[in-house]
Structure 1
């Protein structure tokens, strides 16, 4: 999959590296600001109890 993405990025190698970095940062931002907040209420981690 990563090879497919690398082959389809336009430009010479330095430009491809920059484009791949921007693409990775955009995916991380999408996960952090959209996907994780949406999924957080659905996860069972809110019911934390500590023994007395």
Structure 2
């Protein structure tokens, strides 16, 4: 999968690297902006109890 992604990207290796880093940064930003807050609303860690 990573090899196919690398072959699809245009330009020399350094341009591909910059594009991949930008894509990774966009995915991480989207996770922290939308996905993690949505999951936090579903899985509330405050309601966790531990029995001793």
TM-score of the two chains, using structure 2 as the length reference: 0.81
Q: Distance in 2 between matches of 1:43 and 1:36?
A: 10
Structure 2's unaligned 5+ residue stretches are none
1:4 aligned onto 2:9: no
Offset of residue 44 of structure 1:
3.9
Q: Give the total of aligned pairs.
A: 51
Secondary structure in 1 matching 2:3 = helix
Where relative contact order (Cα < 8 A, 6+ residues apart) is larger, the structure is 1
